[in-house]
Amino acid sequence: MDREKITLSGTQETMLATLYGRALDSRSPHSVLGDRTAQEAVERVAYDFGKTGMTETTAVGIALRAKQLDDWAAAFLAENPKANVLHLACGLDTRVHRLAPSPSVRWLDVDYPDVIDLRRQLLPQPDGSYQMIASSVTEEGWLRDVPDDRPTVAIFEGLTMYLREEEAKRLIQRITERFPSGQLLFDVYGSLGIRLQKMVPAVRNAGATLHWGLDDPHEVEAWHNGLALLDAVRSVDMPGMDAMPTSGRIGMKVMAHLPGFKDVGRILRYRF
């Protein structure tokens, strides 16, 4: 089978690390996500995944983060069967395949044009009201074309740390100002995580740079009237941690008791 050659670099290259993490998790007999679509995509790519530095522990961590966001998104769609889903900086994430939304859901995967081209080559196209938008998520034009007639959930995984604070603030304000109601589901690094970014192999080896860290999730509430924090799950406290290897569980328990390190990453849910 001919494999697709990857020419991505920098921030865009890091999406291959998360894809590989979900693929590794899918190979486990106790898989968190069971994401076979990710594994099939990895098999179609000509890329040295050893560059990602992915281990069994970090793969499970990626899968647990994705599952938490999946669970929140699924709960939102159960309450709002006719909703917009804005999957921002989607990369090669197979979330739409994992959640398999009903045809009444308007799902939009948004990322740079070359990433969208790669999605078309590597991933099956879902049925229903599914659309891919080839644009940087920080560009303002694409959002104006999304109908504002429905509750909307915006999911952005592995994005905020690559933005500057003003870019993140403007993105959140644009979404919350456009739609009548909804939720924001995303992950953040704390300021310590930003300072320690070169310790993350996928970031270091891709030559990417992290910018924004958030230490107090309540700060975001001030960015839009009515924006309220519902959940803030620390990365060291994610549900399902028992799926990690023993060494990984021990490492997480140690970090959970260290000032700064316990807040190195969070998964957040807001309503608006």
Strands 152-156 and 84-88, by their bridges, are parallel
Here the tokens at position 25 are 């998790």
Domain range summary for the chain, segments of one domain joined by +? 64-271
The predicted model gives 125-151 an average pLDDT of: 94
In this structure, of 62-66, 95-99, 195-199, 262-266, the range with the lowest mean pLDDT score is: 195-199
pLDDT digits (tens, 9 = 90+) for 204-253: 878 889 999 999 999 999 999 999 999 999 999 999 888 888 888 888 88
What CA dihedral angle connects 225, 228, 234 and 235, to 10 degrees?
Answer: -70
What's the whole-model pTM score?
Answer: 0.93
The answer to whether residues 237 and 256 touch, using CB atoms and an 8 Å cutoff, is: yes
Among the listed residues 220, 221, 146, 154, the one whose alpha carbon sits nearest the alpha carbon of residue 183: 154
The predicted model gives 57-84 an average pLDDT of: 97
pLDDT confidence band for 7 (50 / 70 / 90): confident
The predicted model gives 33-45 an average pLDDT of: 94
The answer to whether residues 4 and 44 touch, using CB atoms and an 8 Å cutoff, is: yes
**DSSP tag of 146:** S
Contacts 24+ apart (CB under 8 A), 74-79: 74/99, 76/151, 76/153, 76/182, 76/183, 77/101, 77/102, 77/105, 77/153
**DSSP tag of 96:** H
Whether 1 has a pLDDT exceeding 60, the answer reads no
Q: Which CATH superfamily is domain 64-271 in?
A: Vaccinia Virus protein VP39 (3.40.50.150)
